[in-house]
Amino acid sequence: MLLYIIDGFNLVHKIPSVKSSDIPQLELIYYIKNNKLTGSRNNKVVIVFDGALQPEAKRDAEFEIVFSGEFSADDLIKARIDKIKNSKYPLSEVIVVSDDREIRDYAKKQGAISERTVDFIKPKGTANRSDSKDISYPLQKEITDELRKIWLKE
């Protein structure tokens, strides 16, 4: 089971439909769920927002929503990482989503995985079209046959 710790407003500002919402915190929760950005429903999700408590965004059974109050969201994320480090939960199963380099570096240094918001909202399981090449079926077959001759000595 993975644990996602998300820097809420970093993510809000990357999604136009969420950013323009009257209650972006609540809209972000719906966006993450509807797009299945955290994978399995068994994975835990903590979203940390800067600022005062927004009661309408606090109500969610699946996600833990944290408002930093007089502290910064960055400070709370670091404190959460430290708390996990001192528990039995493996940091290798913690994914910190933030655009703040200091937070990402801190997470990596502690043994967690860090991810930029653009990578987090990118559809999972699909090839990046700019990285992949379209190869026709006849060419695929030719390559396969060539490799078969080399490796299998056919």
Where do the H-state alpha helices sit in the chain? 8-12, 16-19, 24-34, 55-58, 73-85, 101-110, 117-121, 137-152
Beta bridge partners of 44: 3
Token pair for residue 81?
A: 């990482």
Mean pLDDT value across residues 110-134: 75
CA 129-118-35 angle, 5° bins:
85
- Is the pLDDT assigned to residue 145 strictly greater than 50? yes
Burial class (CB in 10 A: 0-12, 13-18, 19+), 73: buried
Length of the chain measured in residues: 154
pLDDT value of position 137: 66
Phi/psi at 47 (nearest 5 deg)?
-110, 125
Please, which pLDDT band fits residue 119 given cuts at 50, 70 and 90? very high
- Is the pLDDT assigned to residue 132 strictly greater than 60? no
Class of domain 3-126: alpha beta
Round to whole Å and give the CA distance between 29 and 74.
Answer: 19
Mean pLDDT value across residues 123-149: 67
Any idea where the domains of the chain sit in the sequence? Answer: 3-126
